[in-house]
Chain A
Amino acid sequence: MILGSVIGQVWGAQRSAQLGPEKMLLVAVLGAPGADGERVASGRVVVALDDLGARIGETVTVTWGSGARAVLKAPENRKVLADAAIARIVDGSSAGEE
Chain B
Amino acid sequence: MILGTVVGTLWATKKNPWLEDLKLVIVRPTYWYDPDHNVDHLVAVDQLDTRAGQQVVVCVGLPGRWRLGDDRYPVEATVAAIVDRIEMGSAAEVQ
**Interface residue count on the A side (C-beta < 8 Å):** 41
Q: Contacts A15-B80, A19-B80, A40-B95; is A7 near B62 (CB within 8 Å)? A: no
Interface set, chain A 21-68, CB cutoff 8 A to B: 24, 26, 28-29, 40-41, 43-49, 56-57, 64-66, 68
Determine whether the beta carbon of A26 is less than 8 Å from that of B86.
Answer: yes
CA distance A7 to B93 in the complex (A): 7
Interface set, chain A 7-27, CB cutoff 8 A to B: 7-16, 18-19, 24, 26
Determine whether the beta carbon of B81 is less than 8 Å from that of A24.
Answer: yes
CA distance A82 to B30 in the complex (A): 18
Q: Contacts A12-B83, A16-B48; is A66 near B89 (CB within 8 Å)? A: no
Among A8, A16, A48, A69, point to the contact of B81 (Cβ < 8 A). Answer: A16
Q: Contacts A7-B89, A41-B94, A80-B63; is A47 near B57 (CB within 8 Å)? A: yes
**Quick one: CB contact mask for B75-89 with A, threshold 8 Å, 1 for yes?**
000111111111111
List 26 A-B pairs, Cβ < 8 Å.
A5-B93, A7-B88, A9-B86, A10-B81, A11-B84, A11-B87, A12-B56, A13-B84, A15-B48, A15-B57, A16-B81, A18-B67, A24-B57, A26-B86, A41-B95, A44-B32, A46-B1, A46-B2, A46-B31, A47-B3, A66-B63, A79-B66, A80-B66, A82-B1, A82-B80, A83-B59
